[in-house]
Structure 1
Amino acid sequence: MGTERRLLALLICLLLGGGLTGAVLGATRAAEAARPVEAAGTAHSGAAHSGTEHSGTAAADRPAPGDFVDIRDVPPGPADPPPGPGGSAGTVTVDCGRDEEGHYNEDNLVVSPGLRAGAHHTHAYVGNLSTDAMSTDDTLAAAATSCRGGDRSTYYWPVLRRPDRPAAHPREGAAGHGNAGAILPEAAVSVEFLGNPVSQVVAMPRFLRAMTGDPVAATAADDADVRARWGCSGTPDRSTTRYPRCPAGRRLTRTLVFPSCWNGLDTASFDHRSHLVFPGAGGICPQGTFAVPRLRISLAYDVPPGAPVSLDSFPEQRHSPKTDHAMFVNVMTDAAMAGVVSCLNSGRHC
Structure 2
Amino acid sequence: MGRIARSPRKRQALPRRMMMAAAALILGGGGLVAVNFYASASEGDSGGSGSSGHDMAQMRMLSTIDCPDVGNSLSTVPDSAKSRVDRRLADLDTQITDAYTKFADNKDRIQRDPRLADTMVLNPLKRQRTDSIGEIADATGQPDLNDKGLAACTMRAADVQASNDQGGNQVDAQGNGQNAADNVTASGPARSDFVDIRSVRPNVAAPQPGRGASTGTFTSDCGRNQNGKRNPDNVIVAPGVSNGAHHMHDYVGNQATDAFSSDADLARGNTSCRNQGDKSTYYWPVVRVLNQGNDTDARADGGGKDKNVGKIQTPVQATIQLAGSPVSKVTAMPRFLRIITGDAKAFTNGNANANASWSCTGFENRQLKDKYPLCPQGSKVVRTFKFQSCWDGRNTDSANHRTHVAFADKRGACPAGFKAIPQLVQRIVYDVPAKAGAFAVDSFPEQLHKPVTDHGDFIDVFSDQLMGKAVNCINTGRSCA
- TM-score by length of structure 2 reads 0.62
SS in 2 for 1:146: coil
1:26, distance to aligned residue in structure 2 (A): 10
| Shift in alpha-carbon separation, 1:36–1:246, aligned structure 2, 3 A | farther
**AA partner of residue 291 (structure 2):** D
SS in 2 for 1:253: strand
Q: Identify the residue that residue 474 of structure 2 maps to in structure 1.
A: 344
| Shift in alpha-carbon separation, 1:26–1:240, aligned structure 2, 3 A | closer
| Shift in alpha-carbon separation, 1:128–1:142, aligned structure 2, 3 A | same
1:105, distance to aligned residue in structure 2 (A): 0.2
| Shift in alpha-carbon separation, 1:237–1:336, aligned structure 2, 3 A | same
Q: Identify the residue that residue 316 of structure 1 maps to in structure 2.
A: 446
SS in 2 for 1:60: coil
Trace 1:1-350 onto structure 2 (pairs within 5 A).
29-34=117-122, 59-150=185-276, 151-170=278-297, 173-175=300-302, 176-220=305-349, 222-241=350-369, 242-306=371-435, 308-350=438-480
1:125-146 CA-to-partner distances (Å, cap 9, x unmatched) read 1000110000001000001000
Give the distance between the partners of 1:266 and 1:283, measured in 2 at CA.
Answer: 22
**AA partner of residue 324 (structure 1):** D
SS in 2 for 1:191: strand
Give the distance between the partners of 1:66 and 1:173, measured in 2 at CA.
Answer: 29
* Residue-pair matches, total: 310
Q: Does the 8 A contact of 2:204 with 2:367 survive in 1? A: no
1:206-237 CA-to-partner distances (Å, cap 9, x unmatched) read 000000001111111x3211102100001111
1:312, distance to aligned residue in structure 2 (A): 0.7
Give the distance between the partners of 1:130 and 1:113, measured in 2 at CA.
Answer: 14
Q: Identify the residue that residue 6 of structure 1 maps to in structure 2.
A: none
| Shift in alpha-carbon separation, 1:36–1:138, aligned structure 2, 3 A | farther
* Bigger mean CA offset, 163-172 vs 268-277: 163-172
**AA partner of residue 473 (structure 2):** C
SS in 2 for 1:218: helix
1:164-211 CA-to-partner distances (Å, cap 9, x unmatched) read 121242388541221111111111000000000000000000000000
**AA partner of residue 319 (structure 1):** H
Greater RCO, CA 8 A, separation 6+: 1
Give the distance between the partners of 2:289 and 2:473, measured in 1 at CA.
Answer: 39
**AA partner of residue 68 (structure 1):** F
1:80, distance to aligned residue in structure 2 (A): 1.2
Unaligned runs of 5+ in 2: 1-112, 133-182
| Shift in alpha-carbon separation, 1:37–1:66, aligned structure 2, 3 A | farther
| Shift in alpha-carbon separation, 1:112–1:104, aligned structure 2, 3 A | same
SS in 1 for 2:284: strand
Give the distance between the partners of 1:113 and 1:269, measured in 2 at CA.
Answer: 14
**AA partner of residue 459 (structure 2):** V
**AA partner of residue 351 (structure 2):** D
1:31, distance to aligned residue in structure 2 (A): 4.4
1:84, distance to aligned residue in structure 2 (A): 1.1
| Shift in alpha-carbon separation, 1:136–1:245, aligned structure 2, 3 A | same
SS in 2 for 1:255: strand
**AA partner of residue 146 (structure 1):** S
Give the distance between the partners of 1:136 and 1:30, measured in 2 at CA.
Answer: 41
**AA partner of residue 286 (structure 2):** V
- TM-score by length of structure 1 reads 0.84
Give the distance between the partners of 2:299 and 2:256, measured in 1 at CA.
Answer: 19
Q: Does the 8 A contact of 1:172 with 1:180 survive in 2? A: no
Give the distance between the partners of 1:337 and 1:172, measured in 2 at CA.
Answer: 41
SS in 1 for 2:322: strand
Unaligned runs of 5+ in 1: 1-24, 43-56
RMSD: 2.2
1:111, distance to aligned residue in structure 2 (A): 0.9
